[in-house]
A = this chain, B = another copy of it.
Amino acid sequence: MKEFDTERFPPDPWRVRETGLDLGLIAQTESIFALANGHLGLRGNLDEGEPRGLSGTYLNGLYESYPLEYGERGFGFAEDGQAVVNVTDGKIIRLLVEDEPFDVHRGHLEHHERTLDFRTGILTREVQWRSEAGYAVRVRSRRLVSFVDRSVAAISYEVEALERPMRVALQSNLHANQVDRPANGDPRAGRALGDVLDSELHIDHGLRVVLAHRTKRTKLGFAAGMEHVIDAQGEVNTLTQSEPDLGRVTMAVELHPGRPLTLTKLLSYHWSSRQTIDWLRDQVDASLESAVAQGFDVLAERQRAFLDDYWQGADIELDGDPEIQQALRFAQFHLVQASARAEGRAIAAKGLTGPGYDGHAFWDTEGFVLPVLIHTMPGAAREALRWRHWTLPLARERAAQLGLKGAALPWRTIHGEECSGYWPAGTAAFHVNADVAWAVDRYVAATGDDDFLAGEGLALLVDTARLWAHLGHHGADGCFHIHGVTGPDEYSAIVDDNIYTNLMAARNLRAAADAAAGHRTQASKLGVVHEEIDSWRKAADTIYIPFDERLGIHPQDGDFLTHDEWDFAATPPGCYPLLLHYPYFELYRKQVIKQADLVLALHVAGEHFTLEEKRAAFEYYETLTVRDSSLSACTQAVVAAEVGHIELAYDYLAEAAFMDIRDLEHNVADGVHMASLAGAVTAAIAGLGGAREIDRQLVFRPRLPRELERLVFRITFGGVRVRVEVGQEDARYVIDSGHGVTIEHYGEPVELQPGAEPVALPIPPAERLTRPRQPPGREPMRWHERMAAARGVSVPEPGAETRL
């Protein structure tokens, strides 16, 4: 697979800019340049539609199902898969220059630049092309998916004749049932569904076409419409056509140098499982009318205003590493794109940027994305949790099917049903339930949204607590044990007493008990009685946390440390990710770790471990963790920073931050990884920034690696936005908005008053520690060293002691 070179996107604090077109990387750039608003997503396909890696237009929640097959089926195996549907493509604007198609394969591409601007939310493309016949044109297109008008996307397409007059034709298409690529066998890629859309309506008026379709099995209806505004000198001949799977407006005009034609193409998409096609069509027409009334420029202004507001709360400034600065904003931009207007629908693992993982949502959302969104866009976090609440009836059914009580939320899904075709890494990963409960608890802590807690939140907490109470049991030792489940690390499965799961379950049980005790009336409506609350507290209080006295560290699960070691020396570099080269059988029974698991517990349930225990555990698990998952480097960054390995934390921050923008795992073609993007933000804020919420209070232990000059971030918590500015020597805390609050800096309480000057506090000197080793060849990319070397700064050898 072709790799990104480090120069592909030159560092730019607020943009991703590509100055050439590499067709070998086209699918990857389609994901990176994808635009979305949480409802509608458009991959960054070229305007003319081809060449393309994967054409993609997605509506959040619109999916098709298919039967899951098994070599040997077992009771309770998921029955049907669900896959995100590539809906009607409205991005296409084809150009003919003197009857020759503008195709980057043909003629001479004299200039090609694409820029995604995180502040404007607009993808801009500038092209200068000379046809085989020698006609030169300049094309400038701008594309946005509106954060303000949820159903609307808009394209401004400007074409200008250079050097001499010429006849051009533009074809603006709506195209349904595009042929997908065949599946490539990688289980992480999306499923090729084939034609899954039945045409329900196709109609055109003037320069407008509306097509409506319905998915074949799930019977979900949607309508897509396009409207056009042409700004040109001279006569434009137009033709509008509609067919079941095609809408097309063709424009023909003679262009003269200096007198460009500008086509504004407005798109609207609505879908529903309930509304009639007629109603959907009406909505599309209304949305188009409103978009036409605004025009591209007003849409763009409102887009900018929306994003200005977002960045005010979300922005992270990082001085000293322009590449990571860019990557962090790229991450925050894709996070707002995935979630801003999801409104009661899921935030998928790849957002709306590609078909990867079939468009499913996993624990990624609550485990990684929401902990960031809760502070930057709490309303979007609430909506994501509302989606989980909406799926509770399905989760209760699933629990009953499995013989369990409460609710069993799905490991992977679009609509709510369990879609995992491999239960040891799906159904058995019950921690997703505790992750959701934890997100509820954190959301409420950060926002004080007691209405949510008393309603959807309580229902989620109670049903997940009931699950844990039933899943676990009190053993002969009196402790509460949870057996036969799978923790975050997918290279172990069906284990007893996974510490992450046990701690998170205990937290779930305690949160449910607290919430039920605090909302007696609502809790009793859910059938919660005192005895049940007591049983939750008892289970939480007696949760079993194994500890290996011989090694002095916490085992990932009860048996993990008794397992044989993975033979890293005998593992060729080409055999990563291991899951594509070794059977689960072998991975499960050895000490080898795909992704932070016990180390994740060290982060998110850090209060259960002493610093010494954290350091010992982190250093032990470093030697076993291969990071075959995008959900690992970020957590390793956080814990590395906490236990004193700040340079290693910086390396992991870089790896997390560059996961997608440099395609480190070679699968960004299928979409960007929301959890990893969020993880990069967490690596910065909780890692370098040392931020935690403990007992509903913000605490900080910030520290910068020597290469960085300054880190600024904001946390919104309890209605207060705190701005934190970390330097090499000290950290400054100030209230950006909201009332006074007490925080902690390295264990010392600090009072912050609104309107006061920043409080500057010194960062204590670091300990001297030996840098931990990773499995051979699995060291994190030492990005900052390469960058420092490029800048002529001397750097220590790998493995040398860090000195801070």
Please give the residue numbers on chain A whose beta carbons come within 8 Å of chain B beta carbons, in ascending order. Answer: 68-78, 81, 185, 187, 401-404, 420-428, 473, 475-476, 481, 483-485, 493-494, 496, 550, 558-559, 562-564, 579-586, 588-590
Contacts and interface: CB of A to CB of B under 8 A. Distances in A.
B423 A583 contact: yes
Contacts of A481: 562, 564
A475 B484 CA distance: 23
Contact of A74 (B73, B475, B584): B584
A426 B590 CA distance: 19
Given A75-B579, A427-B585, A473-B564, A70 B483 contact: no
Given A70-B70, A494-B493, A579-B74, A484 B403 contact: no
Given A476-B550, A481-B562, A564-B483, A586 B74 contact: no
Interface core residue of A77, A475, A481, A585 (most chain B CB under 10 Å): A585
A412 B141 CA distance: 60
Contacts of A483: 559, 562-564, 589
A78 B71 contact: yes
A425 B77 CA distance: 15
B70 A71 contact: yes
A76 B187 contact: no
A403 B588 CA distance: 13
Interface of A is mostly: loop
Contact of A73 (B187, B426, B428): B187
Nearest to A79: B71
14 contacts: A70-B71, A72-B420, A72-B425, A75-B580, A76-B582, A76-B584, A402-B583, A473-B564, A476-B562, A481-B562, A484-B585, A494-B494, A494-B585, A496-B589
Counting from the closest, the 10 A-B pairs by CB-CB distance are A71-B421, A484-B589, A69-B69, A76-B583, A473-B564, A68-B71, A72-B421, A72-B422, A483-B589, A72-B187
A424 B424 contact: yes
A786 B1 CA distance: 72
Q: How many copies does the complex hold?
A: 2
B494 A422 contact: no
Given A483-B589, A589-B484, A71 B69 contact: yes
Contacts of A421: 70-72
Contacts of A563: 483-484, 496
B76 A585 contact: yes
Contacts of A185: 73
A473 B562 CA distance: 10
B550 A422 contact: no
Given A481-B562, A559-B558, A584-B423, A81 B71 contact: yes
B562 A496 contact: yes
Task: With a 10 A CB-CB cut-off, give which of A485, A562, A581 has the most chain B CB atoms.
Answer: A562
B187 A586 contact: no
B74 A187 contact: yes
Contacts of A71: 68-70, 77-78, 81, 420-422
A562 B493 CA distance: 18
Given A427-B583, A481-B564, 8 more contacts: A70-B422, A74-B579, A75-B580, A76-B583, A401-B583, A423-B583, A424-B424, A481-B562
Contact of A562 (B70, B475, B586, B588): B475
Contacts of A68: 71
Contacts of A423: 583-585
Contact of A588 (B425, B494, B588, B589): B494
B476 A74 contact: no
B72 A582 contact: no
Contacts of A81: 71
A476 B561 CA distance: 10
Contacts of A77: 71, 583
